[in-house]
Structure 1
Amino acid sequence: MTNLAKLIPGNTFPSIEAMLLDGDRVNLGQAHGDADWQMLVVYRGKHCPLCVRYLNLLEQHKQQLTAIGVSITAVSADSKIQATENMQSLNVSFPIAYGLSVEQMKQLGLYISTPRSETETDHIFSEPALFVINGEGVLQAVDISNAPFLRPELDVIVRGLTFVRKQTDYPIRGTLIE
């Protein structure tokens, strides 16, 4: 059995880059636009209808997140062709990155899966995760799943982040390490 490396809330989020469909490279943990916080959503890829649904639901919360200074980027291990094809099913205005490597997946502490068959997809992919990185580049919140149907409710995330952003002394949770 292999131990999975965990990112620790309160520590600096690793500098990881991926490609956007327009050819630009993006630092996945860095806020963009007028935001100072970043929400990074890792999704399984084009082959996952639950991921497409989740990303489309996330778009419905983008305005609320933007209002509290949180930008959104989503990333998968898909190829550029797969990511481009996936845009036909996605109705989102936040950046979609592709090409997450196995090394990067491990660096993020993600659960990694192999396809069940060639009809599912043609590459190793990560299971879903959600990271919130604060204005200092520190991991504020993390949710890592090993299955596509285990994801935090977006309404709850938005309400929680709104609460945290309004507090001046709300601590980063989960930092006690024995």
Structure 2
Amino acid sequence: MTTKPTIKLVQGDITEQHADAIVNAANSSLLGGGGVDGAIHRKGGPEILDACRDLRASQYGRGLPTGQAVATTAGRLHADHVIHTVGPVWTEEEDRSELLVSCYRESLRVAAELGAHSVVFPAISTGIYGWPMDDGARLALRTVHEEARLPVAEVRFVLFDEGAYDCFELALAELERPSS
């Protein structure tokens, strides 16, 4: 029997979290940006940017592909690692759900390889990338519920505002509801 991680929801600032790994909703350049990405780079300090530059100079010369994940130091954050993942931009014309699911799946894979027990996620792609929060919450929680394996024992979703928290709370209640 596989042990599932504990899933927790927190409203607040992801850069204030204490965890083994914090997931960054990065852009493909890995060189910082706005939203969660900018906040993590600012709070984590130059060590994260230096590690990202090293990744760009070695295996990710064209940037990190959408749906993939890679780890760096966490710099000055209260974590051992930052796992960078590039979410898809939402569009009505094309279903990119599998790419969003891949962000969570690949981040969990990297976390497990690192031996992380606690992993903190933002709501990937739901900010400037325009993914509808309710759908993003449903996909995120379902993926973590289905994919997370030991050593990952706790997954926290840190939601910036009350609206995002409410969407995730509703999606988590749906996920945990016994099927009839």
Q: TM-score, normalised by structure 1?
A: 0.29
- Which structure: greater helix fraction? 2
